[in-house]
A and B are shown apart, each in its own frame.
Chain A
Amino acid sequence: MFIQSRVNQIWFGLLVLALAIDVNTIINHTPMVPQQQWAQKIFYIHVPVAWTAFLSYFMVMVAGIAFLATKKTAWDRLGRAAAEIGTMFMILVLITGPIWARPIWGKPWVWEPRLTTSLILFLIYIGYFMLREFGGHPERIARYAAVLGIIAFIDVPIIFLSVKFWAPEVQSHPQVEMSQQPTGILGPFFYSLIVFTILYIFMMRFRIHTLKLQEEIETHAV
């Protein structure tokens, strides 16, 4: 079992420790950015969370292609786990984005290309889960979900570009500015990025494991 495994327990302990160090570093050991002050600190969380969400949706597409090519259930499981965890991280992106936007832009929602793309992707994935729920036969659902995962990710660059040209006045995204900031920012930022990526891998392994158990139970029930 996943939880009883000694290796997983050690990984879990290390992750909790790494996250605690991350939060402490963000609060106490990162420089204050002029004009933005405390509001800027949300970006040590917001950007890694957004990166993880997009990575996860990329995984849904990869798993979708692999499933259509091989028809192996393991790929469908991977795709489903990535879709669920990606959406969870996407919700966090949509919460942390407006938290930063409010003090900086003076309003909680701005049609900034990255944030807008995140919102649209989130809505697409609500549809994805509805399709998984109402799609009918499990084998058919797996195929449909794989196709939708591919379509959704192909849509990302086109959505991003169209929103970028649609609202050209909204360009001041701090993610770009961060590379020009003093070194005190980049170190903790990349640390946070790595911690969130490892957290994502751990969550994926756990979710794939529970999905596998669920399938076994359903097979036995039948």
Chain B
Amino acid sequence: MFRILLKKEFLVELKSKEISASMLTFGIAVILIFAFSFNVPPDIMSTFAPGLFWVMTLFISTLGLHRMYAYEKEFDAFGFLISAPVDRGLIFLAKWVSGTLYLVITDLFILPPFLLFLQLQVSVSIGLAALVLIFGNLGLMVLGSLVSGLAMRAKMSEVLLPVLLFPLASPVMIAATKASAGLLKGEPFQSWQVWVFILGTFIISFGLVGFLVFDHITEE
């Protein structure tokens, strides 16, 4: 059942490409603004880079999350989805996993212009970089899928989503930024592994909570 739900998420996106297109364009626009606002030498920019990258990811995740639920809101497809005999925890898992995948793919597309426009030169271990990227995005999206479920049917949902998401996501932002900084500086994994553990704790805690409470969020 989980696979069917996941397939549905991807098929909808493949047909419209709304989420990926909006996240990608918005991401590049944000990089441009960063480049203009932080007109500093590359060595100083490299100290800001991890924070800027995750701020950008947080912004684009908000946009993606909004679109993710907007589809179903527009055609009341969500009503049909939750009336199907499906464990709602699985709906949450499908949204979380698909959202993380969109975000990781968008990040991968955005990384080259990010490095190019901000004139950054990096040489990092691909495996560790993938670990940080996936953990950071899993952390953002586990919370995002949960919070956007809350904000979706409220009035002013587009305002409510970031207002709720940003403070709740602060541990993810801190941990992902610190882990990326350790990675970029070439420090050994042992010196920044604590941040990966914090991200892991966050992902497991909110993954479990989301799975358990999503039923109450989607109840009609």
A interface residues with partner B (beta carbon < 8 Å): 68, 120-121, 123-124, 126-127, 130-131, 134-136, 140, 143-144, 146-148, 150-152, 154-155, 158-159, 161-163, 165-166
User: How far in angstroms is the closest Cβ of chain A from B46?
Assistant: 19
Comparing B11-19, B36-44, B163-171, the segment that makes contact with chain A is: B163-171
- Contact of B164 with A159 in the complex, beta carbons under 8 Å: no
If A68-B213, A158-B202 are given as contacts, then 16 extra A-B residue pairs at C-beta distance below 8 Å, sorted by A number, are A130-B163, A131-B164, A134-B156, A140-B219, A143-B216, A143-B219, A144-B150, A147-B213, A151-B168, A152-B168, A155-B171, A159-B170, A162-B170, A162-B174, A162-B175, A166-B174
CB-nearest residue of chain B to A159: B171
Chief secondary structure at chain A's binding surface: helix
Contacts A124-B168, A162-B171: A147 and B150 contacting too (C-beta < 8 A)?
yes
- Contact of B217 with A166 in the complex, beta carbons under 8 Å: no
- Contact of A131 with B160 in the complex, beta carbons under 8 Å: yes
- Whether B55 is near chain A, meaning CB under 8 Å from some CB there, is no
- Contact of A151 with B151 in the complex, beta carbons under 8 Å: no
CB-nearest residue of chain A to B143: A151
Contacts A134-B155, A134-B156: A151 and B216 contacting too (C-beta < 8 A)?
no
Q: Give the complex CA separation of A135 and B170 in angstroms.
A: 23
- Contact of A166 with B178 in the complex, beta carbons under 8 Å: yes
How many chain B residues touch the partner (CB < 8 A)? Answer: 33
Contacts A135-B154, A146-B216, A166-B178: A151 and B206 contacting too (C-beta < 8 A)?
yes
A-B contact count (CB 8 A): 86
**List of B residues within 8 angstroms of A152 by Cβ:** 168
- Contact of B160 with A127 in the complex, beta carbons under 8 Å: yes
Contacts A150-B213, A151-B209: A136 and B150 contacting too (C-beta < 8 A)?
no
User: How far in angstroms is the closest Cβ of chain A from B173?
Assistant: 9
**List of B residues within 8 angstroms of A159 by Cβ:** 170-171
Q: Give the complex CA separation of A144 and B149 in angstroms.
A: 9
**List of A residues within 8 angstroms of B97 by Cβ:** none
Q: Give the complex CA separation of A26 and B187 in angstroms.
A: 49
- Contact of B146 with A151 in the complex, beta carbons under 8 Å: yes
B interface residues with partner A (beta carbon < 8 Å): 143, 146-147, 150-151, 153-156, 159-160, 163-164, 166-168, 170-171, 174-175, 178, 194-195, 198, 201-202, 205-206, 209, 213, 216-217, 219
**List of B residues within 8 angstroms of A140 by Cβ:** 153, 219
- Contact of A120 with B170 in the complex, beta carbons under 8 Å: yes
**List of B residues within 8 angstroms of A163 by Cβ:** 174
Pick the contact of B205 from A130, A143, A154 — CB < 8 Å? A154
Q: Give the complex CA separation of A158 and B174 in angstroms.
A: 11
Contacts A130-B163, A131-B150: A161 and B206 contacting too (C-beta < 8 A)?
no
- Contact of B155 with A136 in the complex, beta carbons under 8 Å: yes
User: How far in angstroms is the closest Cβ of chain A from B169?
Assistant: 9
A-B contact list, 28 entries, CB within 8 Å: A124-B164, A127-B167, A130-B160, A130-B164, A131-B151, A134-B154, A134-B160, A135-B153, A135-B154, A136-B153, A140-B153, A143-B217, A143-B219, A147-B216, A148-B150, A150-B209, A151-B143, A151-B146, A152-B168, A154-B209, A158-B171, A158-B198, A161-B198, A162-B170, A165-B178, A165-B194, A165-B195, A165-B198
CB-nearest residue of chain B to A119: B167
Q: Give the complex CA separation of A136 and B195 in angstroms.
A: 38
CB-nearest residue of chain B to A143: B216
**List of B residues within 8 angstroms of A150 by Cβ:** 209, 213
User: How far in angstroms is the closest Cβ of chain B from A183?
Assistant: 38
Top 3 A-B residue pairs of the complex, sorted by shortest distance between their CB atoms: A123-B167, A127-B164, A162-B171
User: How far in angstroms is the closest Cβ of chain A from B66?
Assistant: 15
User: How far in angstroms is the closest Cβ of chain B from A87?
Assistant: 13
Pick the contact of A131 from B154, B178, B198 — CB < 8 Å? B154
**List of A residues within 8 angstroms of B217 by Cβ:** 143-144, 147
